[in-house]
Each structure stands twice: as C-alpha cells, then as structure tokens.
Structure 1
Amino acid sequence: MRHRIVYYHHPIDKRYSLAFVAHDAGELAARYDTHADGSVKAMGYPLSGTTVYCLYTHTGASGTTADLETTEAEIAAALDEMHPDDRTIAIRLLNIYEGVLDEEDEAGDGLEIYKELEMDNLPRALAQVDWSGTAAEIAGRLMSNLILKHALPNANHRCSISLLETYLEFCSREDALKFSMPHTHTPAFEWQEWVNEYIRESKRILTIRRNNVRFDALRDAGCEVVVRKGDIGIHLAEWNLDMHYREAWTEYAQLHEHLCIGFAEEVTRRGGAPALGELSGLTKQEFASLLRE
C-alpha cells in the first residue's frame, strides 16, 4: 500500500526545502506573497480527504564551491579571532574539506553547495563538545556537534568523520592499540553499507530537529512519510513531534549525539581497537597540541 507522502525538498528543484505548512490555500497565498524576490515554490498534497499546502523556500547558496562568496581574507580573519586550540582544530577541518574538494575535482565534478561557509559556527561547535569520557564518546560528540552546527557549505558528514578518524588515531598512539580506520566509502565515493545506516538516521534526526512543528501539522493532516533528498523516508508515526520547537531542538541534538557516539564505538570495533570505547580520551587542549605537532 502506498504511503501518503510529502516531499521535504521540492521534487523538481532540490535547492528548495519545506518552510511552511497550511491547511488553507489563502493562508499559503498570503505567505507566498511575502517573498517578493520569487525564491519560493508551492505545492498542494491531497491527504485523507483534505489538502495540505506546502511552501518551499531556497535553501541559500547554489552552484559549486567556485561560487562561494567567502574570501580567503575573511577566512583568515575569522581564524585570527579564534582561541588557538579552536583555530588549530578548525584549520584541520578546513584542510579536510579542501581534500574533499580535490577528490571531487579529480572525479570531474565540482562539489555542489547549499549554503555559505559559516566560520563562526566552528568554535561554537567545539564549545558544545563535552571533552570528558572515553575516546569513542568524545570522538562521537565531536562529530555530532560539527554536523549539527553545519558550518561547511557541503560534505559536513564526510569532514566530521575524517576529523573523528584523526582524533581516534591520536588517542591510540600512546597505547599502541593499532587502530586503523575502517573504510567508510566505496571507490565510487558512496557510503559503505554499514556507514550509510548511520548517515541516513543522522539526516532524519537533523531534519526533524528543524521541523518538528511542521511535521506535526503534516501528521495531523494525514501525512505518513516525509521524503527528503537521497530518498530518505521519515515515518512520522515513529517520532515524537508534539513539543515546543526549543524542546525538540535540545532533545534531538541529544539523540544525534547518542547516534554519533554509537558510530564512533562501531568504528573502534571495526578498526581493531575496541578498547578506545573504554580508555579516557584527549581533551581539546591535548588534541590541538598533537595537531600542531
């Protein structure tokens, strides 16, 4: 039986994402008219004998990384304002991102962007990390908060996982654990099957975290599944949506962090060093110091 679905990204132009849900066409039209620049699309979905109206707005920047507006001087200025430890970790992440761009260029495709580079979000993400606990716990929190802050124009999951790899490698140096990062990508740069389960769930959580109120309205109207790009389905009955958006913002951030810690623990097992799930991890200062070395 076919589920009653609504698309989170506009089915014709994926640069547009769901921004408003209405049960009345007039209410949607009034909101539509506030977008004088035309950066908006609308669709109606027949659900359970009624029609729900969805407004989609442009997600931000578009094109490839060649179209980014952030200049090297602006990046350098933002780095100069950071605490030295934050700056060191941010530089490593930007170097990882540059490596991803090189891979995409070698493959013949420029990396598509969805937003501008937000340098201020890097120290904010690092400030949210609890740097106490096991190596796997801290690595998972680091990965989670970088993804949640979404500072990069694209490839936030890829780059955050690469930084997790670096962190776990440093944690295993003194104990000679012989940790070796398991392959996360296929030769075609697609996620390995075991990794893909975590990535798809991560994207579900991120989407719900930003849209619980809209999704609750869709569920009330009879929608069963919201489908985002990548053909990732979000079955609304499986999620707690009926809460204030601030409560959802916190609850789903915690759930995302738990997911990423589970991913880090899976990485240590597959990487031959399950003891990293028990040994104390590095503090931010220790991690930054090793990066500088």
Structure 2
Amino acid sequence: MAQVVHYHHPQAENFSLRYSSASLADLLVQQKELDGATKLIGYPFDTPIYVLYESETEIEDATNIDFDREWLGNQIAELPREGQVVAFRLVELLEAAVDVREEDEFRLYKEFEPQKIQQALDHVSWEAPLPQVAGEVMSNLILRHSLPNANHRTGIAMLQFCIESVNSNFEMPRTHYDDETWQEWVDPYIIESKRLITVRGNNIRFKQLEELGIDLVERKDRIQIQLAEFELDMHWRDALSVYATRHEDHCTKFARAVLERAERADLLDTVGPTKQKFIDYLESGLVERDFRELF
C-alpha cells in the first residue's frame, strides 16, 4: 500500500508542510526556530515519520473580500499603467467569483499581492502564436498567485480575454463549476496545474519525503502527487525554472484545447496580441461586462 503524507494539514488547510524527519527530536528543534504557527503530525508507518506544518496566515471567509480600498488603491497606484489595469480586472473577477459561490464555501488564503501582476506580464511572449500568448498569460498569473483565492479561475478568464482581444467574436466554451463539462475537460487541466506548482515550490521537501519512503503527497481537494513521476533532485532555483516552463507548456496546451473545443481552429496559428492590445481590451473592451457570467 502506498504511503501518503498530507501537504496541507488535514484539519487546517492554511498549514502546509515545512519539514519531515524520522526523528521527532529533530523536528522539535526545527519547530522552535520557526516564526509562524506550527502543527506536528506523526505518521504511523512501519517506520514512523514526523511532519511539521507551518502557517503564516489565517483563513478568512468571503465576507472579508471587501478590501481596504485606500490600501488597495495605493498598492495598485505604484504599478505601471498596464499592471494597474490587470489588477483592477482581477479584483473584479475575484469579487464576481465570490458573488457566484456560496460565501461559506469560499475561503481567502493569503493577502492580495498586486505587485506580482507586473511580474506576470513581463514573462509573456507577446505576439507569439495566440495559444502560446493566452497560455502564458494564464500560467504566469497563476504562478505569481497574486490573489487570495481563485487564481486558476481568474487565470482562465484572462486567457479568454486574451483570445477575445484578437478576435472579438470568440465564444468561450463553458467552464462553469456547475456544468458537467467542468469535470470532463477543465478540471483535469486545473488538477495537473496544481500538481506542477506544488512540486515547483517544494522539490527539496518532496525529495526528503521520497527518501523517507513516501510514495504520495496529497494536497487539499484530494489532489495526489505521485513523487516518482517528478524530477525532484535539483537545486530549488532550477526547480522554479524547470517547473515554470512545464506549467507554461501545460497552460498553452489548455489554450489550444479551448480553441479546438470552441471550433476555432482558425485561431490556432493566429498571432497573439501585443501587450498594449491586450491591456487596451481589458480597459475598454470589457465595459459593462458582467463577470459573474464567467463563473
């Protein structure tokens, strides 16, 4: 039977894996050195191992989605104009997602970090083939994880807007949570995306688990990561680069699947937008758009 360790603490999702060891004494030493709140679990395998979880944030419910507008405005004002436009649209998308979902089912896991949005825009290959540009927009927004939740759903919305900025007649296939097609084709892409980004930031931790005999790591939403399927033995900086590239390729594949499912094969070889064209569309092409329809 596979030996499974939780990446997120099973009773507290805002606590994530930091250290693992076959020695409880070693982890108690590590626990004293951490600044954040911690929880310790012993896994009773044939050879027991211990895992230390840490959290630096508190989970909040969606009733706290009402950002401090003065703080938010000041944060966004420090960005270049293009970053400001994307940041405002992302906030609107997040609020729409909360409005559609039940508040008690929607959690805020971290602070909003608008400065990361500009980083995402700077890593897109503008004017490459449309699926690549749209996929990289989605991928880089997800990788930077600027929002407190819904980074995948808002990333998909931005992929859609990227395509629309080139062809205003494009109609996005349904990707709604309450639609059966979500389980059929969208959900697998999101699950694999979450696997990639989890491995990307934890290759050293996962390598240690593998050396302790662990086969699977399970993160929240019951997403399982088979450690043998991933290359873990590399410097953490290399892992950030390698898995960012894999994630971009994965999201580009999703963009192609979107176009094919929408029966828009004519757009597969179309040149993607310039950064300015994309920003102009976000600023003026989405006026009076009800973003709740996207969720």
Distance 2:181 2:68 in 1: 30
Q: Which residue of 1 aligns with 2:145?
A: 150
Give % identity. Answer: 37
Structure 1 gap segments, 5+ residues each: none
1:3-152 alignment runs, 5 A limit: 3-35=2-34, 39-47=37-45, 49-58=46-55, 60-67=57-64, 71-104=68-101, 107=102, 109=104, 111-152=106-147
Q: Which moved more, 1:231-240 or 1:50-59?
A: 50-59
For the Cα contact (< 8 Å) 1:116–1:152, is it kept in 2? yes
TM-score by length of structure 2 reads: 0.90
For the Cα contact (< 8 Å) 2:4–2:218, is it kept in 1? yes
For the Cα contact (< 8 Å) 2:62–2:104, is it kept in 1? no
Question: Is 1:288 aligned to 2:286, yes or no?
Answer: no
Distance 2:41 2:281 in 1: 52
Distance 1:205 1:29 in 2: 30
Distance 1:26 1:18 in 2: 17
For the Cα contact (< 8 Å) 1:19–1:54, is it kept in 2? yes
Structure 2 vs 1, CA of residues 91 and 259 (structure 1 numbering), >3 Å: closer, same or farther? same
Distance 2:188 2:254 in 1: 10
For the Cα contact (< 8 Å) 2:134–2:163, is it kept in 1? yes
Q: Please tell me the residue identity of whatever aligns with 2:156.
A: I
Aligned residue-pair number? 284
Structure 2 vs 1, CA of residues 275 and 36 (structure 1 numbering), >3 Å: closer, same or farther? closer
For the Cα contact (< 8 Å) 1:8–1:18, is it kept in 2? yes
Question: Is 1:226 aligned to 2:217, yes or no?
Answer: yes
Distance 2:32 2:221 in 1: 30
Q: What's the offset of the Cα at 1:233?
A: 0.8
Q: What's the offset of the Cα at 1:188?
A: 6.7
Distance 1:288 1:245 in 2: 33
Q: Which residue of 1 aligns with 2:244?
A: 253
Structure 2 gap segments, 5+ residues each: 285-295
Q: What's the offset of the Cα at 1:189?
A: 9.7
Structure 2 vs 1, CA of residues 54 and 189 (structure 1 numbering), >3 Å: closer, same or farther? farther
Q: Please tell me the residue identity of whatever aligns with 2:141.
A: L
Distance 1:198 1:272 in 2: 19
Q: What's the offset of the Cα at 1:132?
A: 2.9
For the Cα contact (< 8 Å) 2:62–2:107, is it kept in 1? yes
For the Cα contact (< 8 Å) 2:59–2:110, is it kept in 1? yes
Alignment partner of 1:170: what SS? helix
Q: Please tell me the residue identity of whatever aligns with 1:29.
A: L
Structure 2 vs 1, CA of residues 187 and 70 (structure 1 numbering), >3 Å: closer, same or farther? closer
1:192-207 alignment runs, 5 A limit: 192-207=183-198
Alignment partner of 2:72: what SS? helix
Alignment partner of 1:86: what SS? helix
Alignment partner of 1:14: what SS? strand
For the Cα contact (< 8 Å) 2:85–2:282, is it kept in 1? yes
Alignment partner of 1:44: what SS? strand
For the Cα contact (< 8 Å) 2:165–2:277, is it kept in 1? no
Q: What's the offset of the Cα at 1:3?
A: 1.1
Alignment partner of 1:15: what SS? strand
Runs of 4+ in 1 over 4 A off after TM superposition: none
Of residues 150, 157, 161 in structure 1, which corresponds to 2:156? Answer: 161
